[in-house]
Structure 1
């Protein structure tokens, strides 16, 4: 599973920092899931339908217990070991098809559904790996809300870069309500109307982070608890930095430094 570990190291320092302290059977399982989803995401983002369909075909082999590649075999092992439901990857694939086909997000409901598909599903995949507790429906909804908050943080941070790559995740209805145009997204500086829209979505996202404690309470193992805490608080720190920058996500790319990650780690450890 080392190849999957190298993928998460390369593409998500925040997630790798969070999950690398876990016992190998948990960390490796998370790396495998990340690796598969990252490859699926890359194919969708780069508008590569051939590779995307190969990934989907590979997933169908996993579901039918006919895995061929090492990644497919590892993925089947993870899903079997932790009794993960196949529909979560099916839902993820539907969300990635949105990016592959460059489909517009028209309403807040569309945005919510998309964020569930590409992020809420991830939470529902990871939490059972991190805890032996059974997750009931109410807790599933809390996990989904928190996953949506993580995805919305990414969307808000990357508005300009996403537009440059052909993606608009701000709902058309909301852009019209705030008189935000594509010209605002293409500009070098942030417009007053776009800032107001970002403020609205940022406040909604910060409220969704209120579910972090309820989700973290599901995880009793200290190492697992620390791992998911680091991921959640790392992303919430990005959103707080957006706020401190007066919601100007065009000024510079916002990220959490190694020093800030270490501070978060110490706070998490001493809070337990």
Structure 2
């Protein structure tokens, strides 16, 4: 679909479906578990998130990270098109019109989209986390807030802070697992999301954390990331009883699929970056079946509990 064209909702949904099929097999598989209305809205939201990420990083539906020479111009493009979409105006660019549609249909708070763009702004400024708290702040902006947006897509009220906190936790878990898996890829792209304090603690020479002599030390930090991801994932699961059955099934399945990525990174130790960590089709099927059982028993399996105070506190 050419940029500048005004597309129907069905055409925009179809383009969004193609985007998720190309960009994330895990999310595409989990999204199939939603009812039709929620599924289409999830695709629309994904298409916008994917396009913003691709513009910011010079990618095509993910792929290899590249060093862009005009990050501020890219950020300005993302911001302008997003604000046009949030204003309810036709953008003429399918992923941004996808946001226009899903935001209008769900009464999506505008601050969520702006919080995500703030994460792209951090990357555009060549920002690096100094502390674990800084790492969590970044994870919120690039993934935790997407969890909040997905919850709204599933019918959660924008005022239901308790459920939105759990949804945010799942996004945080996904991003921490991604960071652990992608340390080598990020390094090639000139980025590092390991907190400076962690690197100092492990006595890494500046910029040398991917060098072979330091892989055992790096494995310690990747396991730490996986452990943090698991804690956020466990908290997120206690939000499942607030969701409709099919949405809970999708969420619990996705949690297991991404949780497995973090676990595999930790288990592989210093060899975690020899080959990209993925989950097989068979594993996805197994996690989806397990998610079905958990969704059916979610009220008993995940009773109301206090969210751990040590986890990230979502901005209000």
TM-score using structure 1 length: 0.91
**What does residue 3 of structure 2 align with?**
none
| Structure 1, gaps ≥5 residues long | none
SS at match of 2:272: coil
Select the residue among 35, 38, 43 that pairs with 1:26: 38
Higher mean alpha-carbon deviation, 76-85 vs 19-28, is at: 19-28
**What does residue 113 of structure 2 align with?**
89
**What does residue 113 of structure 1 align with?**
137
**What does residue 225 of structure 1 align with?**
248
CA distance in 2, matches of 1:42, 1:101: 17
SS at match of 1:194: helix
Select the residue among 79, 83, 86 that pairs with 1:60: 83
SS at match of 1:60: helix
> Is contact 1:189–1:251 with CA below 8 Å preserved after alignment?
no
CA distance in 2, matches of 1:71, 1:43: 11
Q: RMSD in angstroms over aligned alpha carbons?
A: 2.0
> Is contact 1:58–1:67 with CA below 8 Å preserved after alignment?
no
2:265 is the alignment partner of 1:265:
no
CA distance in 1, matches of 2:224, 2:95: 40
Alpha-carbon displacement from aligned partner over 1:125-159 (angstroms, at most 9, x marks no partner): 00122235675223322222221111000000110
Higher mean alpha-carbon deviation, 84-93 vs 14-23, is at: 14-23
The structural deviation recorded for 1:160 is 0.7
CA distance in 2, matches of 1:189, 1:9: 38
Aligned residues: 271
TM-score using structure 2 length: 0.79
**What does residue 148 of structure 1 align with?**
172
**What does residue 36 of structure 1 align with?**
48
CA distance in 1, matches of 2:153, 2:145: 13
Select the residue among 88, 107, 122 that pairs with 1:98: 122
**What does residue 242 of structure 1 align with?**
265
The structural deviation recorded for 1:190 is 5.3
Higher mean alpha-carbon deviation, 232-241 vs 207-216, is at: 207-216
> Is contact 1:67–1:73 with CA below 8 Å preserved after alignment?
yes
Q: Structure 1 pair 103/202, CA: closer, same or farther in 2 (3 Å)?
A: same
Alpha-carbon displacement from aligned partner over 1:64-92 (angstroms, at most 9, x marks no partner): 22232244333222112211100011010
Select the residue among 145, 160, 178 that pairs with 1:136: 160
| Structure 2, gaps ≥5 residues long | 1-12, 59-67, 297-316
> Is contact 1:107–1:172 with CA below 8 Å preserved after alignment?
yes
**What does residue 75 of structure 1 align with?**
99
**1:1-12, aligned counterparts within 5 Å?**
1-12=13-24
> Is contact 2:44–2:99 with CA below 8 Å preserved after alignment?
yes
> Is contact 1:130–1:224 with CA below 8 Å preserved after alignment?
yes
The structural deviation recorded for 1:183 is 4.9
Q: Structure 1 pair 132/256, CA: closer, same or farther in 2 (3 Å)?
A: same
**What does residue 197 of structure 2 align with?**
173
SS at match of 1:181: coil
